[in-house]
Amino acid sequence: MEVNEALNFIKENFRFHKSTKQIIYLLYTTDKHKTIIKQLKKDIVHLEVILELVTQNIPNKVKKTLIKYLTEIIPPEELVKKYVFTFTVLNLLDDKILSKFSLEKMIFLTSEKLYFVPKLIYALVKYYSFTELVVYFNKISPLTLLDAFILVFKDKEIEKNNLIPFVLNLLSNNKYNKKNILYSLLFNCTYKSKELDTLFYKLYKPKNLRILSFYKSKNEELIDFLLLEKDPVIFYKSLLRIHANLKKEKVFLIIHQKMNLILQNDPTTLFKKIKVKFNFEEIKYFLENERTKEKILKIIDKSDLHFNEEELNQYYKLIFNNLHFIKSNFAKLMLPLTERKNISILISHFIEQRNFFYLSILYDFLILEEKRNLNLLAIELLLINEEVIYYLHKSINNSLNQDFILKKMVILIRNNLDYKLIKLLNKLKIDNKKEFYFIGKEIIDNLLSINKKFLNEISFFLEKISFFHTKIYDLILENLSSADNETRKRSVLIFTNFNLQTIIPILIKEYTKPNLKLKLSILKLLKKFCVKKETFIFRRIFLNFLIHALSQNDLVFNTNGLKLSKELIQHLQRNELISVLELVFMYIFSSNTLVSQLVIDNITLLSDKLGVEIVYSYLVQGLYHPSKKVYQKYNFIFDILKSIDKETIDQLHLPIIEHYD
């Protein structure tokens, strides 16, 4: 928050503190902060404003001064609450601040329903003895207290032995949605405490398994309780907490015995952490069970499977019968299918059924698994049917037959360029640069026959090719100077997604050529580029194009120049904006309706960026011009400025303007 923002903030929130403006100016503009603090102490009227201002995003130098001033004063009674809560929000509430007020007063403040009240309680626990505080705790909401104790138990400096029984009592008597966090912190504190064993055995009942599983040193004692547990949620969460501290054999024993219970939750999280061995009979049992089949399919690919050849064929049938459950997980479930004949059968079946979704997933999976030497067979089968290419949603990079696929694509592009085909092209890694160039050339030659909705995707593809083949630029630039208007429009859209750093030097060179259509296309392209953030870096180059366009005695050039300036204004700095204003002002008397409207649009934007004072300075002479036509035009613009910022215009103390013929 800079000085003007701070003044506006005060103006909006504290209308009656007008004397504060001088203090704000001093805070931001002077280094003599001791003098400012002395001045603030003389007049307490600023305190309410400063308490609000110090919590805002203000410069550190100013914030430090305000905090120093606040720590050295005692606020009046009516501002005590605001004062304490301000230091709470700033995380600066310490014994120095608390000592200014009575404990009863601080306890009274905890009754407020504000998000930072737990921080206040935490500060009280940190700087007062527990015996002093405990008598007041029954006046505070238990849930607010528990939120505060989370902060207390995270602080390593606070002595917590006296707090443990009190917090346990609170937890056992209240419904609290952050119990797990607090139990975890609580038991980490008791890890080395003398009360650990006493506390553990006090809670050592099956119903308390969800609590006891936080004790990292007592995992072995909990195995029996895990095996007896019947609640799926308690069992699942407890096993997730303790598995890392148990031997693998014991974890596998628990999982195999309690698999039905595990599958009642979402088992994916557990099996990402623990890779368990399963035999075929276990997998078969869960796949044939209607209640468990969907869950077991989520974890098979994360498990260690051992099948013989007969079991493998049965497994394949089970998976195939459950395709409607599998979706994108299908390829991972094919991991055990290491036999070439199984892959061949599967791919052939999908091609016959025209199930291109699973075919594309399996294809992608096989590409990634090149070590299994299944690529060649898979691709040969896939390319039997040319239509399959359209359904390969994922990349076919590193394919053994990429060149063959690219040659097929050139033919397809000539006949009909499909949107899915363009998406596939964009995902391919460029290995064969020559083939990619031919594809790009075919696209540019057939630009008019391509659906407009594909142009954005095509633009990204052509930019990718241009990195290896700069001839692509020449082909598109030829289209920019085409006699056909639609070809020029489409070429401008194609260039829009290209990298500015690469394209700007080319445009500068091309703009020098004596080709009117090319120059106008470049101006339209620059207008499109103005939506990019990088335009700020190249703004001076854009400005040179703009100056040339507005300096020509040609209506089409002028119109395109004004359209460009309208978009470019947002990227320019103050001195550059003034240059644009001077250029735009030359056209205020244009008789062309479109030019006049563009001039008004530009002046409106410039007034917003520069301030109405600057634009007004260009108007002032025209407002007193003897010619009625001149006066009316200037007065029209003056009315626009007034509608933008009437207050500022009124402050210029303009006399009533009357015009006489």
pLDDT in tens, 499-521: 788 888 888 888 888 888 888 88
Poorest-pLDDT segment among 134-143, 237-246, 342-351, 375-384: 375-384
Contact criterion met (CB below 8 Å) for 59 and 84: no
**Which pLDDT belongs to residue 200?**
58
Distance CA 480, CA 492 (A): 7
Element (H, E) at 278: strand 277-278
Contact criterion met (CB below 8 Å) for 13 and 38: no
Task: Give this prediction's pTM.
Answer: 0.41
Distance CA 71, CA 299 (A): 59
- What value does the mean pLDDT take over residues 247-258? 73
Using DSSP, state whether 61 is helix, strand or coil: helix
Element (H, E) at 285: helix 280-288
What sign does the CA torsion over 453, 458, 460, 461 have? positive
Q: Which long-range contacts (CB under 8 A, 24 or more apart) does 410-418 make?
A: 410/435, 410/438, 410/439, 410/442, 413/439, 413/442, 413/443, 413/446, 414/442, 414/446, 417/443, 417/446, 417/449, 417/450, 417/451, 417/454, 418/390
Higher pLDDT, 637 or 214: 637
Instruction: Count the neighbouring beta carbons within 10 Å of the beta carbon of residue 229.
Output: 22
Contact criterion met (CB below 8 Å) for 346 and 335: no
* pLDDT of 536 higher than 50: yes
pLDDT in tens, 387-415: 555 444 443 544 444 555 566 566 666 66
- What value does the mean pLDDT take over residues 246-252? 72
- Give whole-number Cα distances, 627 to 171, 490, 620, 630, 634, in Å: 86, 47, 14, 5, 11
Distance CA 523, CA 530 (A): 11
Q: Are strands 304-305 and 277-278 parallel, antiparallel or unpaired?
A: parallel
How confident is residue 379, by pLDDT bands cut at 50, 70 and 90? very low
pLDDT in tens, 409-451: 666 666 666 666 676 677 666 666 777 777 778 778 777 767 7
The length of the chain in residues reads 661
Distance CA 451, CA 245 (A): 61
Distance CA 565, CA 545 (A): 10
Distance CA 170, CA 516 (A): 82
Distance CA 659, CA 174 (A): 80
Higher pLDDT, 564 or 245: 564
Structure token pair of residue 368: 């990634």
- Give whole-number Cα distances, 599 to 581, 596, 625, in Å: 10, 5, 20
Distance CA 345, CA 338 (A): 12
Element (H, E) at 330: helix 330-333
* pLDDT of 280 higher than 60: yes
Distance CA 540, CA 623 (A): 33
How confident is residue 614, by pLDDT bands cut at 50, 70 and 90? confident
Poorest-pLDDT segment among 99-113, 331-345, 416-430, 451-465: 331-345
Spatial CB neighbours of 300, under 8 Å, sequence gap ≥ 6: 278, 283, 332, 333
- Nearest 5°: the CA angle 106, 112, 118 is 70
**Which pLDDT belongs to residue 376?**
46
How confident is residue 214, by pLDDT bands cut at 50, 70 and 90? low
How confident is residue 358, by pLDDT bands cut at 50, 70 and 90? low
Residue with tokens 């504060």: 20
- Phi, psi angles (nearest 5°) of residue 507: -65, -40
Task: Provide the residue type at 523 as one letter.
Answer: L
- What value does the mean pLDDT take over residues 175-188? 68
Using DSSP, state whether 498 is helix, strand or coil: coil
Spatial CB neighbours of 182, under 8 Å, sequence gap ≥ 6: 146, 149, 150, 153, 167, 171, 176
* pLDDT of 359 higher than 80: no
Distance CA 174, CA 137 (A): 15
Contact criterion met (CB below 8 Å) for 255 and 276: yes
Structure token pair of residue 276: 């368990």
Percent of the chain beyond pLDDT 90?
Answer: 2
How confident is residue 1, by pLDDT bands cut at 50, 70 and 90? low
Spatial CB neighbours of 51, under 8 Å, sequence gap ≥ 6: 70, 79, 82, 83, 86
Task: Provide the residue type at 342 as one letter.
Answer: N
- Give whole-number Cα distances, 638 to 414, 506, 578, 622, 629, in Å: 58, 42, 18, 10, 14
Task: Provide the residue type at 302 as one letter.
Answer: K
Residue with tokens 């623990």: 274
Q: Which long-range contacts (CB under 8 A, 24 or more apart) does 552-560 make?
A: 555/592, 555/595, 556/520, 557/519, 557/520, 557/523, 558/587, 558/590, 558/595, 559/592, 559/594, 559/595, 559/598, 560/520, 560/523, 560/524, 560/527
Sort 540 into a burial class: Cβ within 10 Å, 0-12 / 13-18 / 19+.
Answer: exposed
* pLDDT of 535 higher than 70: yes
> 132, 131, 138, 110: which is closest to 122 by C-alpha?
110
pLDDT in tens, 456-488: 777 777 877 777 677 788 888 888 888 888 888
Range list of H helices, 396-538: 402-415, 419-427, 433-445, 455-466, 471-480, 485-495, 500-511, 516-529
Spatial CB neighbours of 482, under 8 Å, sequence gap ≥ 6: 488, 491, 517
Contact criterion met (CB below 8 Å) for 604 and 640: yes
Distance CA 294, CA 290 (A): 8
Using DSSP, state whether 566 is helix, strand or coil: helix
Question: Which of the 8 DSSP states describes residue 304?
Answer: E
